[in-house]
Amino acid sequence: MKALVFERFGGPEVLYDADLPDPALEPGTVLVRMRAVGLNFADIYRRRGDYHLAGTAPYILGYEGAGLVEQVASDVHTVKVGDRVAFADVPHANAELVKADADHLIPLPEDITFEQASALMLQGLTAHYLIHDSYPVGAGDDVLIHAAAGGVGQILTQLCKSKGARVIGLTSSGAKREAALKAGADVVLLYDSDWVNEVIRWSRAGSGVDAVYDAVGSTLMDSFNAARVKGTVVFYGMAGGNPPHIDPRMLMDTSKTLTGGDLWNHVVTREDRIERAGTLFDALRQGLLQLEPPKRFSLQEGAKAHRLMESRGHAGKILLIP
């Protein structure tokens, strides 16, 4: 099989396509013939050496994608050969064939394309737990979303709007501001503005927003300043660097809540995956959720795809097509 691999940590130039043996079935697994693979910042962090990698070189990146079941271990009865499936947490997805734990597979309805699923799984499931588990968004809430033009940010915005919330977004450029507005944000501010005070003035009571979704990290104290008394800040990423230390006395004095978020503490069973994914598929069908057309690259163009993602010059999803 063809796979996108690397043998040493570094920039996009370390990536190359190689011919590797097909993965071997093990109990509880299936082989999936990939039709589309989602590229995520975690792939970049692993390529750079920022995240731990198990095994030995050559390493294969990727955890998200969709395809057709090609082989099934004898003890697997939840899927069969020919089934359309998607996943968000199966390693070594940057390849033509992927060995997947059957319990990690999500059945893919006929009206959802492989590319839609690969653009939605990881970021959509993340947005779903953020607005249902971390802070349950309701009608009338004022919500601030960092990186509102990013993959999670655009889905978060649309799902918050579908629940009747008002959304103010933050982006780093005029082009990304337009993407966030297109996703449905009521107002979008730039990071180089006096955004904390602008958010407070925009909020209904003029005292701050009900909830802040912060995936930047270094902005955490500003997020607290933009939240109202008894508001909630959800910290779920560090795209802008490590967050500052938070003084618990500030939380006590303002009655504000800080909660962390990691998808894999919320999506832990096959039933979780299928139920949450089904909600996202329904949102697509109903038009409550719309995805920007993805940027497509072949596996052989993997380095080019990584460069585009690192440049932050593309607001939509980037896919690798085996």
Return the H-helix or E-strand segment holding 68.
Answer: strand 64-72
DSSP helix/strand/coil, 46? helix
Lowest model confidence (mean pLDDT) among 54-58, 157-161, 206-210: 54-58
DSSP helix/strand/coil, 219? coil
Cα separation, 147 vs 177, in Å, equals: 10
pLDDT interval class at 21 (50, 70, 90): very high
DSSP letter (8 states) at residue 292: P
pLDDT in the model for residue 302 = 97
Phi, psi of 209, deg, nearest 5? -85, 160
Instruction: Give the mean model confidence (pLDDT) for residues 123-144.
Output: 97
Instruction: Give the mean model confidence (pLDDT) for residues 257-265.
Output: 93
Cross-strand bridge partners of residue 114: none
pLDDT in the model for residue 240 = 86
pLDDT in the model for residue 290 = 94
Residues 6+ apart with CB under 8 A from 271: none
Burial 7-30 (b: 16+ CB within 10 A, else e): eeeeebebbebeebeebeeeeebb
Instruction: Give the mean model confidence (pLDDT) for residues 140-158.
Output: 96
Instruction: Give the mean model confidence (pLDDT) for residues 68-84.
Output: 98
Instruction: Give the mean model confidence (pLDDT) for residues 243-255.
Output: 95
Phi, psi of 4, deg, nearest 5? -95, 120
Over the stretch 93-113, which tens digit does the pLDDT of each residue have?
Answer: 999 999 999 999 999 999 999
Contact call for residues 62 and 93 (beta carbons, < 8 A): yes
Instruction: Give the mean model confidence (pLDDT) for residues 80-89.
Output: 98
Contact call for residues 305 and 318 (beta carbons, < 8 A): yes
Over the stretch 209-234, which tens digit does the pLDDT of each residue have?
Answer: 999 999 999 999 999 999 999 999 99
Question: What domains can you pick out in the chain, each with its CATH number?
Answer: 2-120+267-321 (3.90.180.10), 139-260 (3.40.50.720)
Cα separation, 85 vs 108, in Å, equals: 5
Cα separation, 248 vs 226, in Å, equals: 17
Over the stretch 109-128, which tens digit does the pLDDT of each residue have?
Answer: 999 999 999 999 999 999 99
CA angle centred on 94, ends 171 and 68, rounded to 5°:
110
pLDDT interval class at 84 (50, 70, 90): very high
Specify the amino acid at residue 153: G
**Which two tokens mark 83?**
């089934």
Helices (H), the chain: 41-48, 114-129, 151-162, 174-182, 195-202, 220-226, 248-254, 270-285, 302-311
Q: Do you find a cis peptide bond into 107, omega within 30 degrees of 0? A: no
**pLDDT at residue 315 greater than cutoff 90:** no
pLDDT in the model for residue 52 = 77
Selection from 202, 204, 208 nearest residue 222 by Cα: 208
**pLDDT at residue 277 greater than cutoff 80:** yes
pLDDT in the model for residue 99 = 98
Cα separation, 50 vs 208, in Å, equals: 35
**Which two tokens mark 122?**
């990881």
Give percent above pLDDT 70 in the chain. 99
Q: How does strand 29-38 pair with strand 64-72?
A: antiparallel
**Which two tokens mark 236?**
């779920």
**pLDDT at residue 177 greater than cutoff 80:** yes
pLDDT interval class at 238 (50, 70, 90): confident
Cα separation, 210 vs 223, in Å, equals: 11
DSSP helix/strand/coil, 95? strand
**Which two tokens mark 69?**
């079941």
Selection from 249, 192, 241 nearest residue 224 by Cα: 249
DSSP helix/strand/coil, 150? coil
